[in-house]
Amino acid sequence: MSIYILAIETSCDETAIAISKDDKIIVSLVASQIKLHQPYGGVVPEIAAREHIQTIIPLIHEAMSQANITQKDISAISATAGPGLSPSLMIGIDTAKNLAFAWNKPFIATNHLHGHIYSLFLEDNMPKNPFPLLTLLVSGGHTQIILMTDHLSFKVLGKTRDDAAGEAFDKVASMLDLPYPGGPEISKQATGGKPDHYRFTTPLQKEKTLDFSFSGTKTQALRHLQQEHKITADVIQNMSASFQAHTTTYLLSNLFEAAHQTTPKTIAITGGVSANTRLRDHFIDRCKLELPETIPILPQLKHTTDNAAMIARATYEQYKRGDFADFSTIANPKLSI
């Protein structure tokens, strides 16, 4: 019998619903709130929660009708339990628990970070057994290097000690008066700029560590900009190109160091920042050159930023293990991997 999962993702500013049949996604819908938050230069939790409340039931209804299934077909209902914004997470969890209770189905609480990693398992070229799998998870809230030796078994080899890489993209974009979210804007502006125009130092060089730090990079960007008389189009393009080049090289240098230490079968990048073209291109180039035996995997662009397809795929593994949650489960904004 096939396993149908209804998955809900509301950890930040996307209301997302997916329905999977076994390990395949049959419907994935994302309602983005970016336009609502843009005037504030970032996500406003109260606005995000209100919008999730308005959108979530109609979106579930739409997903069920596109999938052409009824509640009888569903095997389990899951929601992202954390990490994320508490008011946003609560809407998804509450909706999932209420539906599971009303429909008499198991409820599964899924970790958002597991979801980002499981986006890789939606790729056609992902091997059936990809382990050991080394992943750089790089998003607006997290920057970690993770080794998986089996399903749902994660070992963190390195992580940021301060800001996440996506957060640094967003903050530098805001210094340049570019709209939120900053990552895609920096990436666009970078195409016209010189990647070696502004210099950035690489942090933690004296330590033998796979950890990251981005707070210094942010400060250096601010210092460079303070020395300019005016923030012209050239300054914006050159800063975007230089910051992007530094950040992508830095991310990859730790990932490849981890790869040389662990010789994984498969290597991947996931999370919102993995949408970055320069990061993707340099990742593939370095894999070809340095790791010819390792299989490189990149998620499709639609699976890099927040979505429920990745949550459904992680939930499916939890379902197979009987990892069900009880109805007293609450959101955990600080949940770790």
Q: CB-wise, 37 or 105, nearer to ligand KG4?
A: 37
Least separation in angstroms between residue 17's CB and ligand KG4 is 16
Q: How far apart are CA 306 and CA 30, in angstroms?
A: 8
Q: Between 105 and 286, whose beta carbon lies closer to ligand KG4?
A: 286
Answer yes or no: are the C-beta atoms of 118 and 312 closer than 8 Å.
Answer: no
Query: Alpha-carbon distance 173 to 189, whole Å?
Result: 10
Which residues neighbour 154 within 8 Å (Cβ) at sequence distance 6 or greater?
114, 117, 146, 147, 148, 337
Q: Which is nearer to ligand KG4, 75 or 274 (CB)?
A: 274
Complex with ligand KG4: residue 97 or 142, whichever CB lies closer: 142
> Is beta strand 153-159 parallel, antiparallel or unpaired with respect to 4-9?
unpaired
**Closest distance to ligand KG4 from the beta carbon of 72 (Å):** 33
Contact between 13 and Zn ion per CB under 5 A? no
Tell me the closest approach of the beta carbon of residue 198 to Zn ion, in angstroms: 29
Q: Residue 299 corresponds to which amino acid?
A: P
Residues found near ligand KG4 in the complex (CB under 6 A) = 12, 139-141, 166, 169-170, 181-184, 187, 271-273, 275-276, 305-306
Q: How far is the CB of 38 from ligand KG4 (least distance, A)?
A: 13
Minimum CB separation of residue 97 from ligand KG4 in Å reads 22
How many contiguous H segments (helices) and E segments (strands) does the chain have? Answer: 10, 10
Is the CB of 139 or the CB of 318 nearer to Zn ion? 139
Please report, in angstroms and rounded to a whole number, the separation of the first and last CA atoms in the chain. Answer: 31
| Residue closest to 273 by CA, chosen among 163, 130, 198, 111 | 163
Q: Using omega within 30 degrees of 0 as the cis cutoff, is the peptide bond preceding 83 cis?
A: yes
Which of residues 130 and 141 has its CB atom nearest to ligand KG4 in the complex?
A: 141
The interface partner of residue 144, options being Zn ion, ligand KG4, none and the CB cut-off 5 to 8 Å by kind, is none
The stretch near Zn ion (CB under 5 A) out of 58-66, 94-102, 138-146, 290-298 is 138-146
Among 13, 51, 211, 306, interactor with Zn ion by CB under 5 A = 306
Strand partners, 34: none
User: What DSSP assignment string belongs to 82-136?
Assistant: ESS-HHHHHHHHHHHHHHHHHHT--EEEEEHHHHHHHGGGGSTTS-SS--SEEEE
139 binds Zn ion (CB under 5 A): yes
User: What are the b/e assignments for 141-179, b being 16+ CB within 10 Å?
Assistant: bbbbbbbbeebeebeebbbbebbbbbbbbbbbbebbebe
Compare residues 220 and 240 and give the one whose CB is closer to ligand KG4.
Answer: 240
Among Zn ion, ligand KG4, none, partner that 115 touches (CB below 5 to 8 angstroms by kind): none
Q: Which stretch binds Zn ion (CB under 5 A): 122-130, 251-259, 290-298, 304-312?
A: 304-312
Assess 167 for contact with Zn ion (CB under 5 A). Answer: no
Which partner, ligand KG4, Zn ion, none, binds residue 256 by CB below 5 to 8 Å per kind? Answer: none
**Distance separating alpha carbons of residues 16 and 207, to the nearest angstrom:** 40
CB 101 within 8 A of CB 333: no
How far apart (Å, rounded) are the C-alpha atoms in residues 156 and 241?
A: 30
Least distance (Å) between residue 140 CB and ligand KG4: 3
- Which of Zn ion, ligand KG4, none binds 276 (CB below 5-8 Å, type-dependent)? ligand KG4
Which is closer to ligand KG4, CB of 76 or CB of 89? 89
Minimum distance of ligand KG4 from residue 102's CB (angstroms): 29
In the complex, minimum distance from the CB of residue 221 to ligand KG4, in angstroms, rounded to a whole number = 15
Beta-strand pair 153-159/143-150: antiparallel
Residues that bind Zn ion (CB under 5 A): 139, 306
